[in-house]
Every structure is written in structure tokens, then in C-alpha cells.
Structure 1
């Protein structure tokens, strides 16, 4: 009888770990500020500019236990920033030294699920310099998913798809006799959540913030991943506006304020005013439809629009079976919305399961000639999902965390739009995506964004489209079945045409293990599944750091390996610092050029060139062209050795993985 086990199930991993380096009682550690668990100097000029300072718990003072590092899916360290965290039991603490003045903190954490799923709550005490105690209420109600896509909240659930291939048993369960036994919980994931807390006053650099699990906590353990600290300014005030309080909104959150929001929006449009949301928590349990209106909050720390997920009496025409809080433009089929401007508030949903037909996103619909600035979105299905055609949307300085699916998706004919200085953490699918289904996304730019710890899929994904740009982003720690950056012809996307610029991005600890293929993916992954990829694609100035497997992968699915190719991708001015396997893995027919691609700490042969696995006498079906300046390598010598060109077969299907050293200045 075959026994299926989750890959080092998270529950079994928690008791292990090692003591923290700064674990001595009474010790005060100097603050270690990082960006995606890296020295900020390694990512200067890349990623979102944010108001907070990030500190990893493993660098703080603790009498708890450091867990990790581990990049194996379905484990607590694998989903932690930097792949390490601190485990506390009741009575234990972790203490951070503030690097700058702060009056607010965000804690990223995990606590156990309820035995039958659904989550628990547990306290976490916060003190500063041993005084000013506050208590945060942590919850796992929005964490802990199990099983196969689209996942289950039930840790004891049987397989959702008996006819799917299961890598753990190398079988299709419904076609296997005797049927395999599943060790439950099967494939636990999505362990983390985060909470924000205003401290009530400003504290100085050098003051000590201690997080303590009280002795009476009902949580057997609490894992703290990191602490963000910041100095939040005074609430924004707009005096001349349609104030929602004047239309009956309840800032205590006890009564539903959706109707008051609608009335304020209608009045503001008639009088050419803005809508103002003063400090408070407003209960909204459905979509607020926005068109030709500006809505301002007092700041995302002060104004929170929060709602329950509500089951519909009958499915909506779009297939939704629930509704919930969200600001939606009109559908594109109805002409879409224009001149919508949303800023300075938080959207907090109540989504705990993935139902792909549900429109339970923080922001949605179609919004042309519009802006979104300074929002904080969590616990929705997708933070922002836009269905085009639509054009000229600008999204800036927004934070999207703890999503069941994507943080943002430009879907179907979104054009000339920008996402910039947006921070994403803990998504259940792609962090930022352009999906050209039915109509091409064109002329869009993802610039200066940070994407951390997508639990499933990719940090940034581009599925078809024309003349798009992905630049100056920081992407870290994708967990499973995805890469930091994916360029792909899949999901029914329109072909790539024109150009695609992927420039000056930094990725770290990227490239996950693909369960079905049983191979490691690249930090950047080109995937020709449904069409050729043959546009003008230029990958320039990128830094691929601490790659779990390959830095660059170009691949097609075995079933279509003779149908589609990837041609004419140009790599220039690239730095590769550490690969578990190769610099380039080619499992497709086609070609690419390389110029000034420098690599070091390469764990396997520099180029793993399998082509389409036909192995003709003429060489691999994939050709590499050396345009000069390609230097460095690893244990096997120069990464792009002359004897490999133009299409020598160097096919090692699954080379041994050599863990690279930590990134360092070039």
C-alpha cells in the first residue's frame, strides 16, 4: 500500500530548529534592517519605497527557537521571509530594537489551525522598554489551506481530485489498486498572516519592542517571522468634501455603512466634491460601485473599510456565489468607469476559501483614467483585479497582503497602465500579473514594486501581450510551482507581440520545485505551453541572487515539445550570484543570445541544454549565441564555455542541487 505524505508537513517541523544567535537573556541586539531579508545595499534602487523598516525575527533577541532555513514546500520556514523565523512557546519572547522613531508596528506570524480547520485566536503581548503593554489578538482564521487546488479549509479532507497525478505516490489515485492512503493533513500551506498595531505614541530609535506569548495562550506555539516598524503621521483631513458621517456612516463598525457610502458618492458627484472617510472602521458587506468620483481616507492606519463575506441567495450572472467588501468600477461590457481616484484607506475582507468565480476582491471592475494610491488591502480573494478593456490606470504606494489568490491582475485588454511602489506579501497565487486573455494587455509597466513570499505561483507573471515592461522590481521567496518572474503562453493568453522589456529587477531565493515535472524552475521562467514565444524580449540589467535551482529557464510541456518554441530572447548585463544547479536550463527548441552575463557560485554545469529531448546528431534544438563578455562560473568551469555553443547537448535532466552561499556585494 502506498502512503502519501506531505513534504515535511508543517506541523511536524515546528518543534525543531536552532537557538537564535542573539538568545542570551538581557542582551540588546543592534537592529538589523533588511529588505526581503537582504542587506538593503544589495537591492538599492529596486523594489518599492516603503514607510516601514523591516526586521527579521531571526536577527532579533529571543529565548525562542530559530526555525529554518528550509525551501521545501509545506513547511513553516519555507513560507517565512528569508526562509527563517522564530518559534515561541507560551512564556517566550522575541525582542526587536527600533532602528528609527516609530509609533506603529506590523507583525507577521503563524499560529496553529483548529484541529478541524477554521482557525483559532490567541494573544500576543507587546511591550516597549518593558512597559506600555498592549495585547494583539492573532488569528489563523485566514491561514491554513490544504489539499489540491483550489484547496480546502479542512485538514482531514480527502483528495479533491482523484483523477489528478499525485507526485507523492507517482500515481493517479483513481486508477490505482489498491487506492493509496493519504497522510493528513495533505499539503498544508498558507500558514502566515499579519497584524498592525498603533502603539499610542512615538518611540525613539534604540527603544526595545518585545513580543511575548502569554503563559495562558491557547496556541501551543507562535511563529514570528518579522516586524515592520514605522512612524505614521497624523490623520489626513479634508474639510470641503462629502463626509460619509453626514450621510449616516458608522465609524464604530457596528452598523453597515454601505448605503451611507452610496449616498455620499451620489452627492459628491452632483456637487463636484470629493468623498471623505474620516478615521474609523466602517462595515461594508458588498461592492461599492464607483465612477467619476474621488474617495479619500484619513490614511490606511486610520480609515478601515471592513466587511463580511456574504453568501448570495442565488449565483450572480458572473458566477459569484458570495459578495463582500470591495470598490468596483462598472463592468467593461457596461462601458466601465472613468475618473475614479481612491486613496488613503484600508480594505479588509473576510475571504477564507478560494472560489474562482467569486467577485470578492478589494478593488475590481474596469477603471480608466483613474488612480489608486496609498491603500492597504488584506483578506480579500485578489487585492485588485481589473477586467478590461480599460486604459490609463495608475496604482502607487499601495500594500496588498494575505490574499487567497493574486495581489493584482491586469486581465483582458488593460492598456497604458502602471503599478509602481506597491508592496505585496503572502499571496495565494501570482503577486502581480498581466493576463492577456481574449484581448492583449499592452503598454503597461510594473516598476519599483516588491513582491515577497507568494505561496503559490509567481512573484510577477506576464501571460502574453504587447509592448509591456517589468522593471526595477524586487521579488523574493516564491514557495511552490512558480518563479520570481514568469513569461508564459498559457491560460488562453493572446500571443506575445511587439516587445517585452524585463530590466533591472532583482530576485532572491527564487525558483521552486515543480511537483509534476519533478524539476527545479528558474528564477526567471519562460514557458511555451500553448503558443510560440517569439516577440522581441530583452532581459537586461537583472540580478538573480541565491537561486534555489536555475537562474534562467526556458521550457515547454512534454506533450507539446515539438509544437512550440522560444526564439530570440536576449539576455544582457545580468548578474547571477549563486545557483543550486545551472545558470541556464533549456528544455525547449529555439534560441537566445547572451551578452555580459556574469555568474559565480554556480552549482552545476553552466548550461543544461536538453532542447526538446530529441537529441539529433546536429545538436540540441535550442541554440545559445555568445555575444561576448559572459564571465564567471562555478565548480565545472566557465558557465558559458565555448564548447557549449551554439547548441551542444549538455543535458543533465535533474542535476544534484548545491546550496549556494548567501549573496554578497558584487
Structure 2
């Protein structure tokens, strides 16, 4: 979905940022594909290094207990490890390497330099999130990274930037030297691009680099003990002038799952080496399994699939997503398909809703690795798609597709759980149009190119859906979790960190042609950190929770924001806004805040830029950068006060909601000074 919005009223000069989170930044970056060896016997303990620092979204895990996805890996930030490289960041300005890093910091390594992690628990597998430079003309390069455990080299990973580095305006380009994609659009962003990341040959182009990072998984070949060391070294002579390491995830992967009583794809001719296309063999296994009421089993191996596998009334089980990989190329079509696609690629698709959709589909225990390097919005090059009712998706690992999972209803009762979706060109998961009674739980998302998790009720409403206990980190564009219309929706106990530009951690939006909000919208028990980006088109800072009335009023649902923690918000904890062109037509009201903790804002707890009102009960705040409430209403500034009314229901601590602000005192500062807050701590 396009994220462009224009508003002539906010074309004013950008505020002085007072060095907001700024530092010098190296001008290099990159991407990755997996490489691995089978797990084996435990190794003896090796030399000890610095004590490991385990984090979740670069936070002390105690601050996010019970929030986000349950994952098998331990996260370690490179800036907390031992290195002879250079720590870059922190920085929250778009288009810089540290701004897209987890925790807004990373380590830059020149050839010959290293970063060394100490394992916090037994592990036989690692994931490295990294960046290397693009080729001068775009298209990516490859470069080596040596992996040693306890001083003994285990493997050399081949890093790539073929899946990173996008430029220009939405929907972006792979060419750093391209002219404007939309010369007719009002442009504010070119002046916001840091000089450090803009090479001289394209200084006058809409260069705007983004989507710098990628990640790669590696099985270590044996299980190592807690205290053993993993050293990542850039070899001398590397083609990459600099290699940036963001983090290392380590885990102990179990033995491959075996499904004995099943339609084994090997029996139908599937090639586990990836040399021959396996799509037809998988189709045959599915047809046989449906006739015999068996599951389909895909044993360990890499299976090449360059098109959609259509699934209906079938269970497909892999050996585990570290072992069974379905990998495909993006293929140009001879002529555009009826849906507008100009490419196809690897994916498991239910039948379209127009064909009645699919039912009773169960997918688990495998990885899907695509080959999508550009954003073409009409393309159906998603890992999972179509309509799937009464179905489950569990234990998948998805990378390098356009959208991890995109569902077009009507459809109902889909359960997605325990999956990992990384390095997408667009969204990770989108419930689009008529999806009901469905959920996403315990799913981990990192480096989506658009919304991490979204419900988009375009044309037909979504109803009774839930996003619960998920983790979304570093969405490069747009929001961590976005709800566009719908009825009786729940967003609960999620962890959302580090959105980069044109979005927030949590977003409630009446936009993109979505149906109205109705019934109840529960936003409860979530934690956001380092959220609330600078909206580069509006030149204002957003909130960690951003409520936006663009197409219509947000007033038809009972919206409850309860028990959330907003930590280290870059600008505001909460922003309620309508677009300037419709500010006197649409309102935001019937929204209720209760049992909220705000620990650190660059500007305010609440920024109101719309007519309407909200209630506040037991909202505690500390380390607030500017005035607690920045109440602009709809910018008419009547003598009776702001058009936005605040109702104090009691228990609001921290002096952010002082009596003189009630009910609608005008405190409007269009672009308040930013005061970076201290790091969040125990309440």
C-alpha cells in the first residue's frame, strides 16, 4: 500500500533537532541468504569471553516480560559484544545504517576486524543480521564473513546485498541513479537525506537509500555450550569496504522431524538438492494425499519451486524450518496475469475467494525463501496467499518474498502461530478484506518493508480478529502493527520496536478506503520502544500509538487502550490527528486510555491534532520531553478552547495531565523542541 500523504499546511521548516540521537554514520550496508551444516554432537567448552548480554528488542528482558513472541533464540546486540570494529549510532533519522538497526546501534567492521559473541546457552545454530554495500549501480554484491567458534573456523558465510538497498520514491527502485519515479508528487524528503549516505555522483537525485539490512542463518555442525565464543570476522581483501553487524541470534535446533505415515514428496520425484524444479512433484504428492487422507511430508533438503503451489484440504509438514527449505526464483511472466501480476514466484496459495477459497489447509515446519528484489504492488509473489478458511500455519520461516502472508477474503478461522518472517519487500502479514475470526500469535517479524502486521478492511470489513503475543522489529516503512478499519478487533501483548519512517509502532487508521471501525477495538498490554517516527511528508513527529482520521471519522467504535507501556518514544507516546484537508469534517472520539505507563518521550505524552475527545485513567508518565499535552485540536483556535477535549477519570500521575489543561486548553506547539529521554528502566 502506498504510504504517501500530502498536506500543504505542514510544509514548514523542519524543527531544529538539537542533535537528536545523531552520530557520525558509516556509508555502507547489506543482506543475506542461508548457509548451514547438520547438527551433531556437543563440543567441549572453549575459551571464555565477556559475559553475554541477552536482550529483547535491545531491551532488558525484564522490561518486556510476557510481551511479544515466544522464540527459541537468544538475541545479542553487536554493540554489547567484544569488537575491534566501530560502534555506529544511536540514530533515529531515516536513511542511516543505525536508524534501521535493532536498538538503533550496530558495529561496523573493516576487513580484518571482528565482533565476538559469548553464547548465553547451548546452541548449534546462529542467525546474523548484517549489511554490506550495494554495487555502485545497484543490484548488490557478495562478500565473505568468517565464522569461528572458540577460535576454530567453522564456516565462511557468503553475504549478499542483492535483497537490500532500495532507493527513490514509493514503490522504490533498485537504481541509485534513477530520476524521480513520480515527478508530480510534492517532495519533502530529499533535504532530509544525510550527506553521509549520499554518494557524490547522485547527490542531486532522489537517492534516499533504505532497507539496508538482511540476515542469514547457519547451522554450526555441533552443539556448543554456554560460554563458548562465536567470532565473526571480515576477511582481508573482502569486496565489502565495510560490513555492519547488527545482532546475533543463537539457538539449539532439534533433530529433523520425521513423518512416517505420509505422502513423502521424494516418492513423487521431488529433488532435495534444489537442482531440478520440485513444483510438479509436490503437486502430485498433494493430490495423492487428498485421495488417501494422508499428510504431505517434505523431508530435509532444498526444493526449487518457481511458482505457486495451490493448496486446499491438505496438511503439509516439513522436517523443521532449519531443514526443509522451499526456495524459488522470481519469474517474469510472458504477459501480465488477470490480477495484474507481471511476475510469479515461490508461494503456497489458497484458491481465490472468487473460486470459493480453500479450507482445511495446514502448513508447518518448513522455510520459504523467495527471490524478490523490487516492489511491484500488483505482483502475487508472496510466500502465502489467497483465501484459507479453517486453516493453520505454524512454525514457518519466511524470507525474501514481497509479503510474507497476504490474505484476500472472504475467509474465516485462520490461525497463524510460532512463525518467523524477515526481510520482506512489503508487509509481513496482511489480513485484507473480509477476514474474520482469525489470529496471529507468537510470530516474530523483523525488517518488513511496510507494515509488520496489518488488518486492512478494504471494501469488506474484517471482524473478530486478533494479533496477540507477537514481536515486530525494525519495520523500515510504515507501522509495526496497523489496523485499518474493522469490527471487534484485539491487539494485545505484542512487542513493537524501532519503526524507521512514515509510521509508528501501533497505528489505528481510517485510510486506504477501509471500512469504518465498529464494535470494540482493544489495544491492550502491548509494549512499544523507540517508536514514533518523524513523518517526513508532514515534517512533524508522530506517536508510538498513531490514530489517523483521513478518509472518515474514527467515532463508531469503542476504542480501549489499556495496560500498554510506551517506552523511549522518539516524539510522542500518543498522537491523534486528522489530515489538514479534512480537519473540519472528521473527528476522533470515544477513545479511552487506562492503566498506561509512559517512560520517556522526546516531546509529549499526547499530541492532539484533531477535533474530538478522549478519557484518561491511571496514565502514569515520567521523563516527558515537552509539555504533557500538546493540544492543537483542529487548528481553528476558538475562544472556547481546543476542539479536542480531555476527560480526567483519575489516577493520572507524573503531572503530565495538570488540571489547567482540562478540559480543552489550547497548548499548541506545532513542532516542539525534542528532548531525548533517558533509557527506560524498571517502573
- Indicate the TM-score class for this superposition, using the shorter chain for normalisation: over 0.9
Q: 1:574 aligns with which of 596, 612, 617?
A: 596
**Alignment deviations for residues 552-573 of structure 1 (CA, whole Å, 9 cap, x no partner):** 0000000010010001100000
**Alignment deviations for residues 575-608 of structure 1 (CA, whole Å, 9 cap, x no partner):** 0000000000000000000000000000000000
Q: 1:13 aligns with which of 22, 25, 35?
A: 25
Q: 2:515 aligns with which of 494, 500, 509?
A: 494
The equivalent of 1:260 in structure 2 is: 281
The equivalent of 1:163 in structure 2 is: 184
CA distance in 2, matches of 1:11, 1:281: 42
**Structure 1 alignment gaps of length 5 or more:** 1-6, 17-25, 172-180, 633-637
CA distance in 1, matches of 2:311, 2:154: 41
**Alignment deviations for residues 155-190 of structure 1 (CA, whole Å, 9 cap, x no partner):** 11111111111115789xxxxxxxxx9534611000
Displacement of 1:72 = 0.5
The equivalent of 2:305 in structure 1 is: 284
CA distance in 2, matches of 1:250, 1:11: 50
The equivalent of 2:619 in structure 1 is: 597
Displacement of 1:13 = 2.5
The equivalent of 2:673 in structure 1 is: 656
CA distance in 1, matches of 2:345, 2:182: 28
Is 2:154–2:220's contact at 8 Å kept on the other side of the alignment? no
Q: Check 1:554–1:296 CA distance in 2 against 1; reply closer, same or farther (3 A cut).
A: same
| Equivalent runs, 1:214-613 vs 2, <5 Å | 214-534=235-555, 535-613=557-635
CA distance in 1, matches of 2:463, 2:223: 45
Displacement of 1:323 = 0.2
Is 1:104–1:232's contact at 8 Å kept on the other side of the alignment? yes
Q: Check 1:316–1:592 CA distance in 2 against 1; reply closer, same or farther (3 A cut).
A: same
CA distance in 2, matches of 1:114, 1:642: 58
Q: Check 1:15–1:161 CA distance in 2 against 1; reply closer, same or farther (3 A cut).
A: closer
Indicate yes or no: 2:652 matched with 1:640.
Answer: no
Q: Partner of 2:145: helix, strand, or coil?
A: strand
CA distance in 1, matches of 2:265, 2:205: 49
Report how many aligned residue pairs link the two structures.
637
The equivalent of 1:109 in structure 2 is: 130
Displacement of 1:27 = 8.4
> Using CA pairs below 8 Å that are at least 6 residues apart, which structure has the higher relative contact order?
2
Q: Partner of 2:99: helix, strand, or coil?
A: helix
CA distance in 1, matches of 2:55, 2:190: 40
Indicate yes or no: 2:222 matched with 1:201.
Answer: yes
Q: 2:120 aligns with which of 99, 102, 105?
A: 99
CA distance in 1, matches of 2:461, 2:443: 23
Is 2:603–2:672's contact at 8 Å kept on the other side of the alignment? yes
The equivalent of 1:178 in structure 2 is: none
TM-score scaled by length of structure 2: 0.92
CA distance in 2, matches of 1:167, 1:371: 43
Is 2:25–2:89's contact at 8 Å kept on the other side of the alignment? no
CA distance in 2, matches of 1:254, 1:216: 31
| Equivalent runs, 1:32-181 vs 2, <5 Å | 32-168=53-189
Q: Partner of 1:13: helix, strand, or coil?
A: coil
**Alignment deviations for residues 139-162 of structure 1 (CA, whole Å, 9 cap, x no partner):** 000000000000000011111111
Is 1:27–1:61's contact at 8 Å kept on the other side of the alignment? no
Q: 1:627 aligns with which of 645, 649, 654?
A: 649
Q: Partner of 1:355: helix, strand, or coil?
A: coil
Is 2:189–2:537's contact at 8 Å kept on the other side of the alignment? no
Q: Check 1:448–1:161 CA distance in 2 against 1; reply closer, same or farther (3 A cut).
A: same
**Structure 2 alignment gaps of length 5 or more:** 1-16, 29-46, 193-201
Is 2:190–2:208's contact at 8 Å kept on the other side of the alignment? no
**Alignment deviations for residues 87-125 of structure 1 (CA, whole Å, 9 cap, x no partner):** 000000000000000000000000000010000000000
CA distance in 1, matches of 2:77, 2:180: 36
CA distance in 2, matches of 1:576, 1:12: 29
The equivalent of 2:9 in structure 1 is: none
Is 1:580–1:659's contact at 8 Å kept on the other side of the alignment? yes
CA distance in 1, matches of 2:203, 2:333: 34
**Alignment deviations for residues 435-481 of structure 1 (CA, whole Å, 9 cap, x no partner):** 00011110000000000000000000000000010000000000000
**Alignment deviations for residues 521-545 of structure 1 (CA, whole Å, 9 cap, x no partner):** 0000000000110110000000000
The equivalent of 1:3 in structure 2 is: none
Q: Partner of 2:280: helix, strand, or coil?
A: helix
Displacement of 1:132 = 4.0
CA distance in 2, matches of 1:663, 1:145: 33
Q: Partner of 1:299: helix, strand, or coil?
A: coil
Runs (4+) of structure 1 exceeding 2 A deviation are 10-13, 168-171, 181-185
Q: Partner of 2:461: helix, strand, or coil?
A: coil
TM-score scaled by length of structure 1: 0.94
Is 1:408–1:431's contact at 8 Å kept on the other side of the alignment? yes
